[in-house]
């Protein structure tokens, strides 16, 4: 009985240790520092801002054809620029998480 309980607690400890690293949810890990949590939160806010600026009603102030920017109507340019911002944010998050851009 005691050994069975010990095995269950060891299995739970292994599962809780593996949870943050195996699923990518390191934000909720006890080992995540305050600076890392602030960085993750900043990246999440950039993603939310990028999404809100390309869907209704966030795109309404930019929904016009004139002026042309790089030969594109302004709303197309705005959507492409938001996509680039989210891409750069993803690259920075990857760099902070793993230390380099290339493997």
Find, among 86, 6, 20, 73, the residue nearest to 47 by Cα: 86
pLDDT of residue 19: 44
What local confidence, expressed as pLDDT, does residue 18 receive? Answer: 44
pLDDT in tens, 23-44: 556 666 777 788 888 888 888 8
Domain segments of the chain as ranges: 1-32, 33-103
Count CA atoms within 13 Å of residue 50 on its CB side: 17
pLDDT value at position 84? 92
User: 92 or 98: whose pLDDT is higher?
Assistant: 92
The reported pTM is: 0.61
- At residue 1, the pLDDT reads 61
Residue partners of 93: CB distance under 8 A and separation at least 6: 39, 40, 43
**Average predicted confidence (pLDDT) for the chain:** 76
- pLDDT of 74: 86
Per-residue pLDDT tens over the stretch 8-19: 566 555 544 444
């Amino acid at each position: 009985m005691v050994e069975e309980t010990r095995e269950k607690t060891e299995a739970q400890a292994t599962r809780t240790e593996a949870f943050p690293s195996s699923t990518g949810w390191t934000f909720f890990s006890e080992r995540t520092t305050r600076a890392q949590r602030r960085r993750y939160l900043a990246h999440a806010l950039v993603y939310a801002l990028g999404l809100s600026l390309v869907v209704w009603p966030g795109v309404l102030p930019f929904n016009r054809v004139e002026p042309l920017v790089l030969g594109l109507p302004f709303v197309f340019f705005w959507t492409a620029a938001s996509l680039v911002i989210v891409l750069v944010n993803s690259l920075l998050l990857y760099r902070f998480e793993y230390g380099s851009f290339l493997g």
